[in-house]
């Protein structure tokens, strides 16, 4: 049902990889790593009788350990990398005045939409992989370095609010030597079923922390799950004024909130940057039409196919109002409580660049899309 509305491939039946994930977990020759997207933590609890918007990240981590996952990570760690790369890309395009507006690329349904409906804008799509795909590439790369001691094959799983992420992970561009960087995508709803299959009583779980070496994320990475979050995170990175007040001011620029299309202007040095934040494919389509007609002009467009952004994804628990306000409130609260709120201040980012990512930034963090695949 809902998938057809947001899923550009028109796949009505959603591929369910729970059986394959169970098999990998019970296979002694496999080490199974899992990453969890920001939006999942503020919706999962609804299925277990908790109030909408309640952040259950710690309980979910504990539950995932009980299920038997060997390594558990937070996708927002790699959202910080996306911010670093996308901010650099925006700076570069602004100085050369090429391929503007820059389109965000973390929503695969939007990327497919541009490729199929507006191919003339395909060069506007950011070359940055989505946080999920960046993390998948990093995990597989990391697995290579420990394979000698470990001996096990690494399987990478992603828990996502989204059905389109299943198609994204299966794209040829995200396979290296024929092997996908993300082997299986499980939706929030499918994770609920896995907990039930394992007889886990969610309310009895004691919160636990994610694993090292990729265990620290910033508040900027967490708000990726709500419409406007990517823009806010990128602005935090680009703003020269790093004071607390300046950061608070960003939230008042108009990029927060759930209107279908929002605009903001940010001054960076001599330049004024015009930003559009759009969610829901109908609103996205309206904005592209206006750009084509020349009635609006932007430098940066954040587009998410689902209403409210990923918190309203088709893989999330169903709710009549999608609980957009509560779920987004949950993510902004997590951001506010984070000790690190800017991606560049995440202490694991710089060591990643000088270590695992050395000479591999292009291969592991960027992508050039071929034609969209219609298989799912």
161 binds ligand SF4 (CB under 6 A): yes
If the CB atoms of residues 6 and 90 are measured against ligand SF4, the closer one turns out to be 6
If the CB atoms of residues 24 and 106 are measured against ligand SF4, the closer one turns out to be 106
Q: Structure tokens of 375? A: 């298989």
131 binds ligand SF4 (CB under 6 A): no
**CB of 220 closer than 8 Å to CB of 236:** yes
317 binds ligand SF4 (CB under 6 A): no
79 binds ligand SF4 (CB under 6 A): no
Q: By rule CB under 6 A, what count of residues binds ligand SF4?
A: 14
Applying CB under 6 A, the span of 104-112, 169-177, 209-217, 247-255 interacting with ligand SF4 comes to 104-112
Distances in Å between the Cα of 175 and the Cα atoms of 75, 183, 315 are 19, 10, 23
309 binds ligand SF4 (CB under 6 A): yes
As a dihedral over the C-alpha atoms of residue 96, residue 263, residue 106, residue 12, rounded to 10 degrees, the angle is: -130
DSSP calls for 309-331: SGGG-TTSPP-TTTTHHHHHHHH
If the CB atoms of residues 130 and 156 are measured against ligand SF4, the closer one turns out to be 130
Residues 6+ apart with CB under 8 A from 218: 76, 80, 338, 340, 341, 342, 343, 345, 346
Among 6, 159, 220, 278, binds ligand SF4 (CB under 6 A): 6
If the CB atoms of residues 101 and 313 are measured against ligand SF4, the closer one turns out to be 313
SS3 of residue 72 by DSSP: strand
If the CB atoms of residues 24 and 113 are measured against ligand SF4, the closer one turns out to be 113
57 binds ligand SF4 (CB under 6 A): no
Relative to beta strand 102-103, strand 300-304 is parallel
Q: Which of 302, 310, 328, 343 is catalytic?
A: 310
Applying CB under 6 A, the span of 86-94, 156-164, 181-189, 262-270 interacting with ligand SF4 comes to 156-164
275 binds ligand SF4 (CB under 6 A): no
If the CB atoms of residues 101 and 161 are measured against ligand SF4, the closer one turns out to be 161
DSSP calls for 325-355: HHHHHHHHHHHHH-S--SGGG-TTHHHHHHT
3-state secondary structure 82-139: HHHHHHHHHHHHHHHCCCCCEECCCCHHHHHHHHHHCHHHHHHECCECCHHHHHHHHH
230 binds ligand SF4 (CB under 6 A): no
CA distance 117 to 103: 15
280 binds ligand SF4 (CB under 6 A): no
165 binds ligand SF4 (CB under 6 A): yes
305 binds ligand SF4 (CB under 6 A): yes
Q: What is the DSSP letter of 152?
A: S
Q: Which residues of 153-165 are buried (b: 16+ CB within 10 A; e: fewer)?
A: ebbbbbbbbbbbb
372 binds ligand SF4 (CB under 6 A): no
Residues that are catalytic: 86, 89, 106, 126, 165, 168, 173, 310
Chain residues that interact with ligand SF4, rule: CB under 6 A: 6, 107-109, 161-162, 164-165, 304-306, 309-310, 313
């Amino acid at each position: 049902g809902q998938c057809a509305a947001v899923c550009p491939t028109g796949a009505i039946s959603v591929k369910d990889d729970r059986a394959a994930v169970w098999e990998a977990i019970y296979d002694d020759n496999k080490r199974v790593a899992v990453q969890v997207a920001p939006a999942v933590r503020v919706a999962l609890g609804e299925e277990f009788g908790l109030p909408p918007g309640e952040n259950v990240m710690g309980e979910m981590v504990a539950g995932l350990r009980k299920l038997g996952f060997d390594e558990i990570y937070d996708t927002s760690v790699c959202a910080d990398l996306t911010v670093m790369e996308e901010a650099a890309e925006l700076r570069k395009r602004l100085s050369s005045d090429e391929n503007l507006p820059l389109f965000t690329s973390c929503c695969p349904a939007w990327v497919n939409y541009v490729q199929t409906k507006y191919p003339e804008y395909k060069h506007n799509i950011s070359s940055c992989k989505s946080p999920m795909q960046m993390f998948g590439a990093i995990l597989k790369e990391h697995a290579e370095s420990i394979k000698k001691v470990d001996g096990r094959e690494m399987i990478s799983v992603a828990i996502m609010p989204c059905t389109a992420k299943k198609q994204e992970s299966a794209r040829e561009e995200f396979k290296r030597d024929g092997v996908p960087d993300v082997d299986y995508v499980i939706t929030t709803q499918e994770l609920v079923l896995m907990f039930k299959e394992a007889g886990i009583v969610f309310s009895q779980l004691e919160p636990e922390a994610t694993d090292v070496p990729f265990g620290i994320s910033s508040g900027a990475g967490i708000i990726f799950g709500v419409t406007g979050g990517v823009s806010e995170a990128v602005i935090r990175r680009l703003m020269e004024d790093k004071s607390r007040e300046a950061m608070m001011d960003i939230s008042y620029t108009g990029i927060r909130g759930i209107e279908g299309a929002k605009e903001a202007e940010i001054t960076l040095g001599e330049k004024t940057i015009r930003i559009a934040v759009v969610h829901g494919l109908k609103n996205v389509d309206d904005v592209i039409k206006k750009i084509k007609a020349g009635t609006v002009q932007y430098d940066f467009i954040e587009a998410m196919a689902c209403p409210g952004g990923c918190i309203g994804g088709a893989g999330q628990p169903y709710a009549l109002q999608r609980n957009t306000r509560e779920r987004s409130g949950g993510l902004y609260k997590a951001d506010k409580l984070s000790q690190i709120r800017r991606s560049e201040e995440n202490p694991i980012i710089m060591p990643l660049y000088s270590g695992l990512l050395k000479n591999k930034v292009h291969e592991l963090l960027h992508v050039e899309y071929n034609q969209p695949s219609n298989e799912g």
